[in-house]
Structure 1
Amino acid sequence: MTSVQNHIALGNLVRIERKRQKLTQEQLAALAGVGVRFLRELEKGKDSCRIGLAFSVMQTLGLSVDVSGRGDEK
C-alpha cells in the first residue's frame, strides 16, 4: 500500500500507474472521461484539481483510496 498525504504525491502516483499500464495521458483521459488538461494538472500536483475527477482517474487505473485519521492503527 502506498501512502499519499498530499496533492503532489497523488499526482505522482497517478503518473506512475498510468505509465506502468502503458497509457498515454490522452488515452487515460478518454477512458476516465476527463480532459487531457485536467489529467496533466493532476499529475503535476496542482492543488486546485477537482476531487471527483481525480477519483474518476484513479478508479479507471484500478487505484483505491483508504482514509485513516491521526491515531488510527495501520
Structure 2
Amino acid sequence: MLTISDSLALGQLIRSERKRQQLTQEQLAAVAGVGVRFVRELESGKESCRLGLALAVLQTLGLTVSVAARGANS
C-alpha cells in the first residue's frame, strides 16, 4: 500500500500509472471523461483539482483509494 499525503504525490502516482499503461494525457482524459487540462493539472499536483474528477481518473487507471486514521494499524 502506498501512502499519499499531498496533491503532488497523488499527481506523481497518476502520471506514473498512466505512463505504465502507455496512455497519453489525451487518451486518459477521453476514457475518464475529463478534460486534458484537468489531467495535466492533476498530474502537476494542483491543489484546487476537483475530488470527484480525480477519483474518476483513479478509477479509470484501476487504482483505488483507502482512508485510514492517523496512527491506525494497517
Alignment TM class, shorter chain as reference: over 0.9
| 3-state SS of 1:14 partner | helix
| 3-state SS of 2:31 partner | helix
Unaligned runs of 5+ in 1: none
Counterpart in 1 of 2:68?
Answer: 68
- Equivalents in 1 of 2:2, 2:17: separation in Å? 12
Q: CA deviation at 1:71?
A: 2.0
- Equivalents in 2 of 1:55, 1:43: separation in Å? 13
Report runs of 4+ in structure 1 exceeding 3 Å deviation.
none
- Equivalents in 1 of 2:14, 2:31: separation in Å? 14
- Equivalents in 2 of 1:24, 1:71: separation in Å? 37
Counterparts of residues 20-39 of structure 1 (less than 5 Å) = 20-39=20-39
| TM-score, with length taken from structure 2 | 0.98
- Equivalents in 2 of 1:38, 1:13: separation in Å? 15
| TM-score, with length taken from structure 1 | 0.98
User: Is 1:56 equivalent to 2:74 in the alignment?
Assistant: no
Counterpart in 1 of 2:12?
Answer: 12
CA RMSD of aligned residues (A): 0.5
How many residues align? The count is 74
Unaligned runs of 5+ in 2: none
